[in-house]
Amino acid sequence: MNVEKLKEVIKHREYVDEISQSEWDEEIEKCQKLVTEILAEDITSTIEYLNNNCMANEYVYISEVIDDVVDKVPSREFLEAFKKLKDKFPKEFSEYNIVGSIQCAENILKWEEEHGKKD
């Protein structure tokens, strides 16, 4: 995983959020797609990053795309590493309703475990 690129995209995502006052726009979607690509590129190093170096603001923005990452790379280990961060970042976990993002990702994994990866 390219950590520098992830940090750069998240910094840009924060800027976009600030100037757009949280209104949905193309730039937010573009950032989310980039974060998804970066995280899914090498799931092993992404898991290592989540376990050791993820910051609170990154946790929040990763939560926006957790289901997209799991859809792209159905990894239970990845989802479990992300879920463990709720203990490290309880304020963000509750403030940003990250439980909803986790439930979506779990549903995708469950479906794919029962039916196989969709094409």
Q: What is the per-residue pLDDT for 23?
A: 66
| Rounded-to-integer distance, Cα 32 and Cα 9, Å | 9
pLDDT of residue 22: 62
DSSP collapsed to 3 states, 60-98: HHHHCCHHHHHHHCCCHHHHHHHHHHHHHCHHHHHHCCH
Q: What is the pLDDT of residue 24?
A: 66
The answer to whether the CB of 112 falls within 8 A of the CB of 104 is no
CA–CA distance, 96 with 107 (Å, rounded to integer): 19
Weakest mean pLDDT among 14-18, 31-35, 39-43, 53-57 = 14-18
Digit-coded pLDDT (tens) for 50-65: 999 999 999 999 999 9
CA angle 100, 49, 96 (to 5 degrees): 25
Res 46: pLDDT: 98
pLDDT of 119 over the 60 cut: no
Q: Considering the entire predicted model, what is its pTM? A: 0.91
Query: What's the token pair of residue 68?
Result: 């997209």
